[in-house]
Amino acid sequence: MMRIGIVGVGQVGETLGCIWARAGHEVAFGSRDSVKAAATVKGLAGAHAMTQEQAVAFGDVVLWTPRGVMPADPNLLAGKIVLDPNNREPDPGRNYASPRPNGLSYAERLQAAAPQARVVKVFNTIVMRVLRETPERLAASGTQVLLASDDGEAKTVAAGLAADAGLGAVDLGGLDASWLAEAMADAFRQGMRTSPAEWRQALVFADLTDRPN
């Protein structure tokens, strides 16, 4: 089992952190809102409420959810496996970015800001409400996430944490491929935004609807 620090207790941090705690990992939920962190860990074995800085120090693996926010002290991430699940914001017209982003991806920016971290792009292409399904049902559906990193061992760890949620993993290659994961998330979210409600439902749950509970 692993020690995992969650930086940011929003939908992504809370959802994945709870899954990992239930899978038997020691999880620290780090938030600037101590009340929210305490509420998240209530009744959850192996979970701890901390500040963001304490959660980073606690984890051998760190889930970094603040979008576009770089660490104030990059040395705190030195040697740690850092999972980046972030995607770009839509433009003012609520449309998502073009397939090939300008400049570095979020994961590459995080790696540049914390050069001794072991950054993995992962979990940015999975809709969090899908993870409310049981891991067994998700595994049976063949649902997958995408991985990109220059560190092979870190990718193996990330794939194992994905498996705890019932997710398979597709290796895109090095961290320079992380833009592809972000672009795929943009295309998916654009389709979700512009398609009728029935199609949105089908896009998210197509592989799950005809499977037994």
Label residue 103 left, alpha or beta by phi (over 0 means left) and psi (-120 to 50 means alpha).
Answer: left
Assign 211 a pLDDT band (cuts: 50, 70, 90). very low
Residue 54 confidence (pLDDT) above 70 = yes
pLDDT exceeding 70 applies to what percent of the chain?
A: 81
pLDDT digits (tens, 9 = 90+) for 138-158: 888 888 899 999 999 999 999
123, 86 contact by CB (below 8 A): no
Residue 96's alpha-carbon distances to 145, 171, 189, 198, 210, in angstroms, are 20, 24, 7, 21, 31
Which residue's entry shows tokens 């009340």? Answer: 35
Q: Which of 91-95, 136-140, 165-169 has the highest mean pLDDT?
A: 165-169
DSSP for 109-164, written as a single string: HHHHHSTTSEEEE-SSSS-GGGGGS-HHHHHHHT-EEEEE-S-HHHHHHHHHHHHH
Say which amino acid occupies 194: T
Dihedral sign of CA atoms 62, 68, 73, 79 in order = positive
d(CA 175, CA 149): 4
Report domain 3-205's class. alpha beta
For range 24-42, the mean pLDDT: 94
d(CA 97, CA 89): 8
Per-residue confidence (pLDDT) for residue 206, from 0 to 100: 45
What would you measure as the largest C-alpha separation in the chain, in angstroms?
48
Residue 209 confidence (pLDDT) above 90 = no
CA atoms lying within 13 Å on the CB side of residue 32: 3
Per-residue confidence (pLDDT) for residue 119, from 0 to 100: 98
Q: What is the mean pLDDT of the chain?
A: 86
Query: Which residues on adjacent β-strands are paired with residue 170?
Result: 146
Assign 213 a pLDDT band (cuts: 50, 70, 90). very low
Beta strands in the chain (DSSP E): 3-7, 26-30, 47-50, 61-64, 81-84, 118-121, 144-148, 168-173
Domain spans of the chain, in order of start: 3-205
